[in-house]
Copies of this chain bind each other. A is one copy, B any other.
Amino acid sequence: MEQIESLQRLAEQFGRLQGVGKKSAMRMAFATLSLDADAAEEFASAIIEAKQKIHECPICANLTDRELCFVCEDETRDRSLICVVEDVKAVMSIEKVREFRGVYHVLGGTISPINGITPDKIRIPELVVRVGEENVREVIVATNPTPDGEVTAMYIARALKPLGVKVTRLAYGVPVGSDLEYADEVTLGRALEGRQDV
């Protein structure tokens, strides 16, 4: 409703968020109006606060609102095991598993020559320096199983080779709980290749 300027402006703001279309933006603007006044204030200040406080961890580029991220500041974490991920969402996913006790290195993207993203535009040089300076035993490359993620993993493996560190990659295979009928051929092929003794 173009005629209600402040509603329109609010919808535009929601629409600026990545992945939010015009219709959802208007729906959320309406939903915001249904909040009580205090809740709306809280919402607004949460935005300001998050923007002001959250920054990249100087060690791994994970997000944090303290000095270091919660992984890097945790002294029980194994600093000789680095898991390389594309973005902070991947850190979240892996942390949910509660199995990995090493630290992270967030690349902030993947190599993508078609989009002009060369290895130096993501945090690969920082990774090489980090592995060179610290006593690292193993680097697990957990980039996404996409073509760009693959290329990035290969590049990292090669870049780290001179440093003599072990570089591994997440296992490919059929997802647990899924049905083979629905697995695509590439995944199934990889699952066969990577078959394990039982």
Contact = CB atoms under 8 A, between A and B. Distances in A.
A27 interface: yes
User: When A and B form their complex, which 9 residue pairs have the shortest distance between CB atoms, in order from nearest?
Assistant: A3-B70, A17-B31, A44-B44, A40-B51, A10-B50, A13-B43, A18-B31, A44-B47, A10-B46
Contacts of A31: 17-20
A32 B47 contact: yes
Contacts of A47: 10, 13, 32, 40, 43-44, 47
Given A40-B48, A43-B47, A16 B33 contact: no
Interface residues of A, number: 50
Interface stretch (A87-95, A113-121, A157-165): A87-95
Interface string A1-25: 1011111011011001111100000
A82 to B, nearest CB: 19
Given A7-B54, A45-B44, A95 B16 contact: no
Interface of A: 1, 3-7, 9-10, 12-13, 16-20, 27-35, 37, 39-51, 53-54, 63-65, 69-70, 88-89, 91-92, 95
A89 to B, nearest CB: 7
A39 B46 CA distance: 14
Contacts of A27: 19
